[in-house]
Amino acid sequence: MKIYDEGSEPLHELLRAASSDQGATLLVPDLQRPYVWSPSQVTLLVDSLLRGWPFGTLLLWSVHKEDLAGIPSRPFWRVADRTGEFDDAQVSKSNPPAQFRMVLDGQQRLQSLLLAFGGDSWGFRLLDHEWSTVLDAERPRGRNAKRHWSLGHLSLDVWAFRDRIQEFGQVTKIDFRDVLSWVVQSPDGGRSTLKRPSNYKHPIPSGLDAENKGRYVRLSRLWDLASTQPGLYERHFRERLAPLLKDHDVPQDIIATVLEPLAELVVTLVAIKQSKVSYLQLSPFNDQVFSQDLYNDAIVNIFTRLNTAGRALTRQEITFAWIKTGWDASKTGNRSAGRCFDELSESLAAEGVSVDIDALVGTVSAMWSVLHRDGSLLTANDLLRGEKVRPMAQDLVHNWDTVSSNAIEGAQLVDDRGFRFGEHYRSLNVLTLLLCWRLLGRQWLAEHALSVTAKDSFEKSLDAAFASFCDRWILMSQWSGRWGKSTDKAFADYIKDLSSDWSSIRKSSSPDDVIAVLKQRMDTWIGALQAESAKYIDDLGVLTRDAVHQYYLPLWLWHRLDAERWKASALPLRESKRGSLSFDVDHVVAVKLWETLHGASLDSEDVGDAGPLTTDDLSTTINALGNCCLLEKSFNIAKGAEPLQAFLDRVHEFKTGTLKVADWARNIGIDSNLVNPGGRATADVRLVVEQRTVRMKTELKEYLAGTRQRADV
């Protein structure tokens, strides 16, 4: 089925539809990426059109006026603000009844031409140091150099135009990048008012300065003068240009030189205005042709597949567009949705959770689904159903303080327990579900008035419950393989569980009952992970030296399961003051050291059943958990052929006798046969390693079962 039509329109009609003072009918979906072009790119586009190059095609979407409210959209910008101090100024949107269209592809080009040709108030507001970067100008200096900004309008440098005409003789040979400049033209609001030093170098000129009198004419004035009325020729434009240039105080001798070529330029602008722009236009929904689900799915696929700056638009970006469109900033301290999410992202990063906005939107969306959508996560088909996704912004605005503070506090609690995102857990689902679980308690508290002491008691009970389950959840949800196959289904099931709990929790008036429900949920989740996690520990083993990093998390935990062991493990082992410390999985007995033990053979060929053990035979033992440790130290045992004893003897605390190697090794759970295995039989050392492996795995499984606790927190 064909859901689009082919068409074309004169460029000036498209621009008028996007910028009309009576209200725009050509809009930008908020599902699109923001406007990102720089002033120099705008100048280059204008130059290419003046040279006769095509504008390119567009992809539009026709929308019935009845459907407009269901689609997050905005008009084009009058001012592209990059300072962070102002909101971008927008064109007003036309009110129904009207026929609306959305620009799906071509937004950057249309917006650029509007900034160039739109009118006196259209342009870029950039920080001065950004202007200097974009235009390759001298960087401004001074105490407030990084805070100064300028509002630039694309203008024709009449003096430079005169020089190029005298040099080349005709308009067609001019590189218009040499005669088009971004210039301050506004007497009020053209530049920041912060005090500047007397020698401050402005990155863009001002047409209001005395030395520039009669030099710059806004390009939009020439665009407006370029009437598409039939029967107008160069003579008519010369007659209209003369008073325009005089009004701009252009010297008479320059007017005489540029009037005729400038009239040629205006004729070129007329041709650009009248040039037909081809487009594909997606048809509005028609229930006689499509089902609503099929139509929505097609539109969403266009958005998600449409290439935006080399990447596909994600579903999270579409979701965030809905959030931004429906956000009521008056309820969040006059902070926009973008600012609220940015602040949350920065706060999470400070707690060791650095994620992009897409991931953060996914996490917040899951929280919303738990509290407000009966645990049903948004699907692709929901993204164009306003009645399904529009309430998200309204709900989040009312709950934002609770949602954001819960996320930050939860991330801080996880960080306090030593877990780092990307190091100890890689799936954000792990943290998202923990935060959603904690949110049930925080949201209940927000909806129920308690006395000061009762509130304090509840908060402490909630944090204590969080601490008691946090570690096992993070570890076991990974070791059980929960985030391997069918991740989406597993995550959705967990969200459903929490939503079910919320249904009962929100009706409760007892803080103790709320905590009991939360504990029961986590007991159920962790209990379901027990068998698979224990099997993971039983099967844990690698065959090569470079694979022992897989032990990182089990060793990280094991070192913390005994108080004396943790005290010994926490000692930085530095051979010299200059040695840099690293925290990596390392062997206790080096691979090359095994090769020197009695009963080991370097040659694995022609060895009978009763022959010596080869390094191939020993690979499982050499690289076993029991032959590894996770310590902060300046040396690497695995890469050498020395015993651990030799390294420790060079560590200050042991060299000076402050600590004894034997005591430290005993506390760390390393047998003397492993500290210095020289002269011992391979089989004996092998047995010690295998026994240590069994003991370590037993302790880890005891922790998983809840019969052993961490000693470091």
Q: What is the pLDDT of residues 32-72, one digit of tens each?
A: 667 889 999 999 999 999 999 989 888 888 876 656 555 67
pTM of the model: 0.69
Q: What is the pLDDT of residue 386?
A: 63
CA distance 507 to 241: 75
Q: How far apart are CA 589 and CA 561, in angstroms?
A: 23
The string of pLDDT tens digits covering residues 301-351 is 565 555 444 344 567 777 887 788 778 889 999 998 889 999 999 999 999
Contact 60, 281 (CB under 8 A): yes
Length of the chain: 713
Residue pair 427/355 in contact by the 8 Å Cβ criterion: no
Cα 492 from Cα 366, distance rounded (Å): 9
CA torsion sign, 304 to 305 to 306 to 312? positive
Give the span between the Cα atoms of 530 and 536, in whole angstroms. 10
CB 122, CB 153: distance < 8 Å: yes
| pLDDT at res. 199 | 84
pLDDT at 672: 92
pLDDT tens digits, one per residue of 128-168: 989 998 887 677 776 667 789 999 999 999 999 999 999 99
Q: Please report where in the chains the tokens 């390693």 appear, as a residue.
A: 689
CA neighbor of 458 nearest in space, from 562, 587, 430, 466: 466
| Two structure tokens written together for 461 | 């009970």
Residue labelled with tokens 């325009």: 244
Instruction: Spell out the residues 6+ positions from residue 490 whose beta carbon is closer than 8 angstroms to its own.
Output: 482, 483
Number of other CB atoms surrounding residue 193 within 10 Å: 7
What integer pLDDT is reported at residue 636 of this predicted model?
85
Q: Is 665 exposed, middle or buried (0-12, 13-18, 19+ CB in 10 A)?
A: buried
Does 97 sit behind a cis peptide bond, omega within 30 degrees of 0 on the bond before it? yes
- Coil, helix or strand at residue 306: coil
The residue ranges of the chain whose pLDDT is under 50 are 307-312, 602-611, 613
Looking from the CA of 10 toward its CB, the CA atoms found within 13 Å total: 10
Token couple for 427: 């799936």
Structure tokens at 503: 């249904």
- CA 265 vs CA 61, 112, 223, 258, 261: distances in Å: 34, 20, 10, 10, 6
Rounded CA-CA distance 368/173 in Å is 60
Query: Which residues are CB-contacts of 594 (< 8 A; sequence separation ≥ 6)?
Result: 600, 615, 618, 622, 682, 685
Phi, psi of 262 (to 5 degrees): -70, -35
Quote the pLDDT of residue 639.
83
Helix (H) or strand (E) holding 100: strand 100-105
Alpha carbon distance 571, 632 (integer Å): 7
Task: Give CA 325 to chain center in angstroms.
Answer: 19
* Tokens read off for 39: 């002033």
Q: What does the DSSP 8-state code read for residue 598?
A: B
Amino acid 306: pLDDT: 52
CB 637 within 8 A of CB 676: no
Sign of CA dihedral 374, 380, 383, 385: negative
**How many beta carbons lie within 10 A of that of residue 540, not counting itself?**
17
Report the candidate in 644, 544, 631 with the shortest Cα–Cα distance to residue 593.
644
Q: What is residue 614's predicted lDDT score, i.e. its pLDDT?
A: 53
Residue 161 corresponds to which tokens in the numbers above? 């135009």
**Following CA atoms 222, 224, 226, 229 in sequence, which dihedral angle do they give, to the nearest 10 degrees?**
-170
Q: pLDDT value at position 384?
A: 60
Which residues, other chains included, contact 21 with Cβ-Cβ below 8 Å and sequence gap of 6+?
Answer: 92
